[in-house]
Amino acid sequence: MLNAAYLGVMLNKTVALICVLIFLPFSAVGGNGPEEVRKLLVGRWNADQVYPDGIRVVMDVEYFANGTCETDIRYFGARGQTISYQLTERWRIEGERILFKVVTANDPKLIGGESSVEILEATEAAFVLKSPSTGFVTTLRRCNAT
């Protein structure tokens, strides 16, 4: 059974990770404009990382050209706990950022909200992103076509 404090930590990490993965300033993409960034982002991506407290986070996200994306986030606690979130989101490029808003989620607390992240590297194979609010660095890797 997961306690309320643990769930609170997981919810905060979920929000932080969503912020990291959703809002990508495009200035780090070699000066590409919004349309080039949009084309680069469209597709299936995966992140798999371990936080300093030992919690492993696995995220699968697919960005569609129509400005929507679907995200599945799974947390694996150091003591064997597992929490999973499924999200449907809308995203758009505005200025030097990609704005994102959660439209539906299996946890209503995740619906709404916008944020931004710094893009450290962007290639066809990977986006390396840093959250200015948490300092977390996340690498999204493009999934191979099946």
Residue 88: helix, strand or coil by DSSP?
strand
Of 31 and 117, which is predicted with more confidence?
117
pLDDT digits (tens, 9 = 90+) for 61-78: 999 999 999 999 999 998
What CA–CA distance (Å, rounded) separates 86 from 106? 6
- What pLDDT is recorded for position 91? 85
- The residue ranges of every structural domain in the chain are 4-142
- What pLDDT is recorded for position 9? 53
Centroid of chain to Cα 22: 5
4-142 maps to which CATH number? 2.40.128
99-102 LR contacts (CB < 8 Å, sep 24+): 99/23, 100/18, 100/22, 100/23, 100/69, 102/18
Average pLDDT along the chain: 77
Of 115 and 107, which is predicted with more confidence?
107
